[in-house]
A and B are shown apart, each in its own frame.
Chain A
């Protein structure tokens, strides 16, 4: 359901409906970590102008976003009792725009994962088929939008943690340029790759949300001073002359004939609308290096970022004979086995003797990858590819992100957007075997508008505006 449809009803009615739906779907989807009583927020609306862009619109927040007085666990046992004493900057911005948070949404523990199976309160299920994964790490947020509970939800994206679950659940997943949205008050994963992103069911909503969320924040030194544009009113679906580059390295890995056909049909439609669609190829060795580079950098940064989770000042504390014992016991019991193993990998690459050959090497390869992509974006408006070569996998067949020697370009190409900070959007394009499929597009830094413009053209072609599992049912 898009925001405009949602706001046809009174504020009280739509908030109550969202809460009722969230509760009713919880047994089936397990998308929520905490339900939020909206009374105080509704009361606070009295001070907000009724013309505010999100006035009285219900929403969900990923559970790594600090919310004052509301449990914020990041789906980790070590934070299962943590109640922040402050709001993240984006929470304040959303409140000022009139939005009402109704739930904190489940995620992979500390953002580390792509299935939402590794969450302390349990697996999140796909909105279209509960035997399949939601994808992660922002799985709860994706599912709450895809099941029609809320018209938008906030997530975070370090590898593809908004854009992949968006693809698996048939909703729009937007990750703007690095620094476009403040990250102050968000529990980090890997600071050089972390972005705030969000889920919607309409391109106009994605554009509107960026207007609300973007802008300089002195509390996040990486946030940009660039002017925030009026993205929504600037949307123009006339894409004649727009140059679109299909990433062949990614499409060659798509084996499903229906997904291939859907992609080609869409490209034909974009050509018919006047776009110039061409094929490009990135250096294969750099594409093969995408996931290992990400794995090394993300784990190393996570290891450093999460050194403050020690059970002393906040979080679950396990007793011990000494301060060191308390920390070791708290961290051993507080993190899942999966996360601890990834921290070990991070510790390995940060170890003095390995730093040059592992960590710094990965940082250098990152630069080469970004330069390679930038060369293409110097000549094209966007790069485009299937968001995944598959529909959402069955939960029983799905392991969490692990290194493998198999070619992983098709399933990991969206990491490019995090390496270079490029704005990147996933847009649903149809259904295969009853499950949603999607494309992903990325553009030059701070050119979100071109993504919304071409995205609007795609939305007009697919007619999937407002798509959710409730509408389809």
Chain B
């Protein structure tokens, strides 16, 4: 069975922008043993030639149209949920140093 290092879980977490503690990594190692067994349950099912099902219904509901301005929120509304603002912008730490 596939085994995973602590670093592997730390990388998976870091890729989606958070950290996992040593205890969480230990729990994940146990949980992934079961996950792999469950993936084996799926592998026993023959899906040769089967298309992926992305949504329950596949009738297209998108159309080409001209861009229309709608659902605009004001600058003040944007700022209502922002912790730091400065000079009319959302303020974050320096990106370029």
Indicate whether A431 reaches chain B with its CB closer than 8 angstroms: no
Find the B residue at minimum CB distance from A327: B17
Given A85-B80, A303-B16, A320-B93: A364 in contact with B52 (beta carbons within 8 A): yes
Interface string of B38-65 (1 = CB under 8 A from A): 1101111101001111111100011000
Given A314-B81, A403-B34: A367 in contact with B51 (beta carbons within 8 A): yes
Stretch from A33-41, A167-175, A207-215, A281-289 at the B interface: A281-289
Interface residues of A in 266-303 (CB under 8 A from B): 285-286, 288-289, 291-293, 295-296, 303
**Is there an interface contact between A345 and B18, defined as CB atoms closer than 8 Å?**
no
Please give, as numbers and ranges, the residues of chain B lying within 8 Å of A179 by CB-CB distance.
56-57
Question: Number of contacting residues on B, CB 8 A?
Answer: 51
Assembled-state Cα–Cα distance A289/B43 (Å)? 10
**Is there an interface contact between A313 and B50, defined as CB atoms closer than 8 Å?**
no
**Is there an interface contact between B12 and A403, defined as CB atoms closer than 8 Å?**
no
Question: Number of contacting residues on A, CB 8 A?
Answer: 74
Among B28, B37, B93: residue with most chain A CB under 10 A:
B93
**Is there an interface contact between B56 and A323, defined as CB atoms closer than 8 Å?**
no
Interface residues of B in 24-41 (CB under 8 A from A): 24, 27-28, 31-32, 34-35, 37-39, 41
Assembled-state Cα–Cα distance A418/B56 (Å)? 8
Given A365-B42, A368-B50: A323 in contact with B16 (beta carbons within 8 A): no
Please give, as numbers and ranges, the residues of chain B lying within 8 Å of A351 by CB-CB distance.
12
**Is there an interface contact between B31 and A345, defined as CB atoms closer than 8 Å?**
yes
Q: How close is B61's CB to chain A, nearest CB, in angstroms?
A: 5
**Is there an interface contact between A347 and B12, defined as CB atoms closer than 8 Å?**
yes
Given A313-B78, A341-B27: A328 in contact with B51 (beta carbons within 8 A): no
Find the B residue at minimum CB distance from A318: B83
**Is there an interface contact between B28 and A341, defined as CB atoms closer than 8 Å?**
yes
Q: How close is A423's CB to chain B, nearest CB, in angstroms?
A: 11
Assembled-state Cα–Cα distance A296/B12 (Å)? 15
Q: How close is A218's CB to chain B, nearest CB, in angstroms?
A: 9
Find the B residue at minimum CB distance from A339: B18
**Is there an interface contact between A85 and B13, defined as CB atoms closer than 8 Å?**
no
Given A292-B42, A322-B95: A340 in contact with B24 (beta carbons within 8 A): yes
Indicate whether A421 reaches chain B with its CB closer than 8 angstroms: yes
Assembled-state Cα–Cα distance A403/B21 (Å)? 21
Candidates A178, A315, A327; contact of B56 at CB < 8 Å: A178
**Is there an interface contact between A364 and B50, defined as CB atoms closer than 8 Å?**
yes
Please give, as numbers and ranges, the residues of chain B lying within 8 Å of A315 by CB-CB distance.
81
Find the A residue at minimum CB distance from B73: A85
Candidates B12, B44, B78, B83; contact of A344 at CB < 8 Å: B12
Candidates A83, A291, A292; contact of B81 at CB < 8 Å: A83
Please give, as numbers and ranges, the residues of chain A lying within 8 Å of B71 by CB-CB distance.
86, 219
Candidates B39, B56, B77; contact of A370 at CB < 8 Å: B56
Please give, as numbers and ranges, the residues of chain A lying within 8 Å of B94 by CB-CB distance.
322
Closest 5 CB pairs of A and B: A421-B56, A314-B81, A363-B52, A292-B38, A367-B53
Q: Give chain A's interface residues, CB within 8 Å of chain B.
A: 81-83, 85-86, 178-179, 192, 219, 221-223, 225, 285-286, 288-289, 291-293, 295-296, 303, 307, 310-315, 317, 320-328, 331-332, 335, 337, 340-341, 343-348, 351, 357-358, 360-368, 370, 402-405, 418-421, 445
8 contacts between A and B (CB under 8 A): A178-B55, A286-B45, A328-B19, A341-B31, A345-B35, A347-B16, A403-B34, A419-B53
Q: Give chain B's interface residues, CB within 8 Å of chain A.
A: 9, 12-21, 24, 27-28, 31-32, 34-35, 37-39, 41-45, 47, 50-57, 61-62, 71, 73, 77-78, 80-84, 90, 92-95
